[in-house]
Amino acid sequence: MNRPIGVIDSGVGGLTVLQEMMRQLPREKLIYLGDTKRCPYGPRSKEEVQKFTWEMVDFLLEKEIKLLVIACNTATAFTIEDLKNKLDIPVIGVINPGARAAIKATKNHHIGIIGTEGTVKSGAYPEALERINPKIHVKALACPPFVPMVERGIFAGDEAKETVEKTLKPLKSLKNLDTLILGCTHYPLLKPIIQQVVGDNVTVISSSEETARETSAVLEIEQLQNKTGYHPVHEIYSTGDMELFDKIAQQIFINGKYKELIIKSAEIEKD
């Protein structure tokens, strides 16, 4: 099954999922679409996020994708049920893989979640966790400064460190927390700083890595694996400022992997 896999995100954050998919699924061709023009989705209404997400999905369906990954927690929280019901290809969001990994990792059942306002308000993570285990203690914290900072290409240095420290302060008092879910695909870019701030006793779960792995499982179960490809050239589309997008993509895709990517501009808005 040599058709591509589609990956959508509100901006550059989903590139952390793409990167993990390139690493864990080197036979698969990937097409990524980041809606950088309208990023961030976090503070937007459910209706707006749904409309924008469908515009992205329509763009990718024309490219004959065999599976869709929603590499954005806000879009997953607001659209996954609708997409699952209406599309005839498998749809994988970032929330359930992260929730499952946290349930596997936790020893004391105290799990923290950080994400955008939209994701936190949606209650999608506590719901996903409770569906699996009703006795999990969940503490969710919205971190509005993180996405705009990462979209400006700032993942390290003093500004990043100060912002993370200040924003995560409310978690400091939670002595019991042994697992923290990065409930936004932008956050893995801040993972080294986040790990430093919360300390080594907390297992930090990257929903990006977990989503890539679960995609691998679904490809096998649904018999959609590409059995012959190897490191194909991937296509990356952005709806917004190409110069900034290109700069951030280069920061993420170090180690020579960048040459396997073609970056293009996309126009997806409908009225």
Return the active site residues. 72, 184
Q: Which of 6, 13, 14, 97 binds a copy of itself (CB under 8 A)?
A: 97
**Sign, CA torsion 25/106/188/140:** positive
Is 73 labeled as ligand-binding? yes
Q: How far is Cα 173 from Cα 54, in angstroms, rounded to an integer?
A: 40
Rounded to the nearest 10 degrees, how much is the dihedral formed by the CA atoms of 39, 31, 254, 100?
80
Q: Which of 3, 37, 46, 100 touches a copy of itself (CB under 8 A)?
A: 100
| Site track for a copy of itself across 20-39, x = CB under 8 A | ----xxxx------------
Q: State the Cα–Cα distance between residues 33 and 17, nearest whole angstrom.
A: 12
Please give the residues from 51 up to 90 whose contact with a copy of itself meets the rule CB under 8 A: 90
| Residue-by-residue DSSP string for 130-168 | HHH-TT-EEEEEE-TTHHHHHHTT--SSHHHHHHHHHHT
Residue 72 parent element (H or E): none
Instruction: Select 110 or 161, whichever has its Cβ closest to a copy of itself.
Output: 110
Closest approach, Cβ 110 to a copy of itself, in A, equals 15
Q: 48, 57, 10: which is closest to 151 by C-alpha?
A: 10
What is the footprint of a copy of itself within residues 110-169 (CB under 8 A)? Answer: 131-135
Longest dimension (CA), the chain: 51
9 is in an annotated binding site: yes
Contact residues for a copy of itself, defined by CB under 8 A = 24-27, 90, 96-97, 100-101, 103-104, 131-135, 209, 212-214, 216-218, 220-221, 225, 227, 230
Please enumerate, by residue number, every residue annotated as part of a binding site: 9-10, 41-42, 73-74, 185-186
Please enumerate, by residue number, every residue annotated as part of a binding site for substrate: 9-10, 41-42, 73-74, 185-186
